[in-house]
Structure 1
């Protein structure tokens, strides 16, 4: 009998959904039966662009951001509290997931949905739950309440979440810098963040700069200054961002963005795991648009320690300053990349090895 997998991908950011669509397609090709759940209607629409039909669990749980992708901690904590304690929210989702679990061999929690964190420590359900999460996201989650409440509350929260995570059937911690053969401990597996295979023969002309900003970026002046900075550096840009859909050449979604990115002179994105993984796998320089998002701040710092070819730019509300940051970073990176060019074939093989490692691990579980 084929493996039956239920995949819950939170829709707070598109990295979870991109990882989900990559793995769902790969698992189905390997013979598994996979059904997908997500947490917003926008997430459903996004997955449809990648030929994935997802069911909506509920929209009650979500991390909150402003229009510059800065995390709104108080609003997020308030939303989580309402989700946990208001009747008809987490309890309703747990009952729905419990019914679905009767017919599944495994349920993937990507990443840290509270209902599955709780179910992953309960008898009967825990043997089927696998938590998937970025290494930096876990650190950010466990430290979320430090400095906001008395220290004992922060420590208690971290202890509870750690116990919930550890109690499940297994945990897959991923990172843009992990290798496919990194050490594995009992019930904890470390795998490199999966990356889409770029086409052998690109279906679209190569672009000079491939830009992706997730939907939390909605500040118009930021988009205009970014575009102006790339133009000032002499680069034609292919720009994707749901928050800027229809604005001056921006697209909402591009299913072929990985193809464009693999062949581009330069990438531009926030320092999420997916973008950094594409830059690392396909050896492309990247401009990192940094905001107040804890795990991405950590990712940017690690990109420096790993000597990934990159520059960091920060929006401070000054359009001209941001334009100059982008232009200067683009000129510097393009000059450095000319000395370290590599064929896309090697990048495709690295991407294939990453996806194969995930499929093998999940099917073994």
Structure 2
């Protein structure tokens, strides 16, 4: 008998959603809560399997359209979304999810997958939306940019309605943590290193050389990106430890690494996109970040937010889609090499992980209370106390 069961849908456009799902499956599992993972991508399923987490598949019909330099094609993404909403696509996925969720206390949508947004509007399942604060804000801003477009207005209203009607919401944020009305704002979830810096560096055989940990999701696949990094780091005497599904066959790279956080912790420099998990690893481990950017709006917002200062290592953004990419990358490397590592905050990670676990434990407890009330209503026609509304709490 489990202390709870969660059906967890993680999109696979990057890999941060999948890593968060894997970490939560591990953390919640240690508390007796069973987490069943679902993803819309065979590549995402292989990524989870390499981490040790099995998963089920729904269709791959919906995804973001991203180029080989992390450039988001908004028009093609929107067209793909509209095709996905046809009954034979979204409807089929929704029926599968409903079947798998029959004994689940909660169904998690990480992040903004349209099938579970539709389910939320119809209140067909107890859906909890997990998403980045900046993903949410930039998605709304894109939809509302053309206020004269009736389709965009309808999509914006539907998105807001789905978030408001959700059973719960968890936003990972670079700002202040708080909770209000089944809504949590929490620091991004990252893994805690189990080895010391010295142990990792010894295992890698880098000696006293500076070490760069590089993680690039599959949408950084232009060969020039890897070639430029390899050449620039070698010219500066910096050892490269690269993780990339696109470049896994190159020297110094591997496709996946379940213990990458330990290498970031041991590194002198971190090179990655500007997802919230990467920014949190930079802060928690005190490692300067060279952030490779395309046009994905929330990553641009993430970098703008951390650039406002605070107690964190420097972050230098470099646009990989710009004509001056090589020159800017070399300039960024030189700037960050002159920046010493800051004191780290890894001692905060267990508290952050506990906050995520307690949020889900609270939602499961509330779900079971409501199930008890619903059962009592079916037996007697009277409720023993009405459940709280699903309204979106303020911030």
TM-score by length of 1: 0.91
Q: Deviation of residue 57 (structure 1)?
A: 1.4
Q: Deviation of residue 244 (structure 1)?
A: 1.6
The residue that corresponds to 1:104 in the other structure is: 104
The alignment status of 1:226 with 2:229, answered yes or no, reads yes
Deviations 1:307-332 (A, max 9, x none): 441111122464xx433322322222
For residue 209 of structure 1, give the secondary structure of its aligned residue in structure 2: strand
Structure whose alpha-carbon radius of gyration is higher = 2
For residue 162 of structure 1, give the secondary structure of its aligned residue in structure 2: helix
Q: Deviation of residue 114 (structure 1)?
A: 0.7
Q: Deviation of residue 178 (structure 1)?
A: 3.6
Q: Deviation of residue 148 (structure 1)?
A: 6.0
The residue that corresponds to 2:244 in the other structure is: 241
How far apart in 2 are the matches of 1:234 and 1:364? Answer: 50
How do residues 1-365 of structure 1 correspond to structure 2 at under 5 angstroms?
A: 1=1, 2-85=3-86, 87-125=87-125, 128-147=126-145, 150-175=148-173, 177-179=174-176, 182-201=177-196, 202-203=199-200, 204-205=203-204, 208-307=211-310, 308=312, 309-316=314-321, 318=323, 321-338=324-341, 340=342, 342=343, 346-347=345-346, 349-365=347-363
The root-mean-square deviation of aligned C-alpha atoms, in Å, is 1.8
Deviations 1:258-290 (A, max 9, x none): 100011000001111111110111111100111
How far apart in 1 are the matches of 2:151 and 2:96? Answer: 31
CA change 1:248–1:264 in 2 (3 A) is same
How far apart in 1 are the matches of 2:305 and 2:137? Answer: 14
Q: List runs of 5+ in structure 1 lacking aligned partners.
A: none
Q: Deviation of residue 123 (structure 1)?
A: 3.7
Contact 1:142 1:157 in 2 (8 A): no
Deviations 1:187-234 (A, max 9, x none): 211111101111233453366100011101111112211222222332
How far apart in 1 are the matches of 2:356 and 2:321? Answer: 39
How far apart in 1 are the matches of 2:22 and 2:270? Answer: 21
Contact 2:40 2:60 in 1 (8 A): yes
Contact 1:232 1:327 in 2 (8 A): no
Contact 2:147 2:153 in 1 (8 A): no
Contact 1:226 1:322 in 2 (8 A): no
Structure 1 segments, 4+ long, off by >4 Å, are 146-149
CA change 1:152–1:306 in 2 (3 A) is farther
For residue 108 of structure 1, give the secondary structure of its aligned residue in structure 2: strand
Report how many aligned residue pairs link the two structures: 352
Q: List runs of 5+ in structure 2 lacking aligned partners.
A: 364-395
TM-score by length of 2: 0.85
Contact 2:25 2:34 in 1 (8 A): no
Moved more, 227-236 or 36-45: 227-236
Q: Deviation of residue 299 (structure 1)?
A: 0.6
How far apart in 2 are the matches of 1:197 and 1:119? Answer: 34
For residue 157 of structure 1, give the secondary structure of its aligned residue in structure 2: helix
Contact 2:294 2:321 in 1 (8 A): no
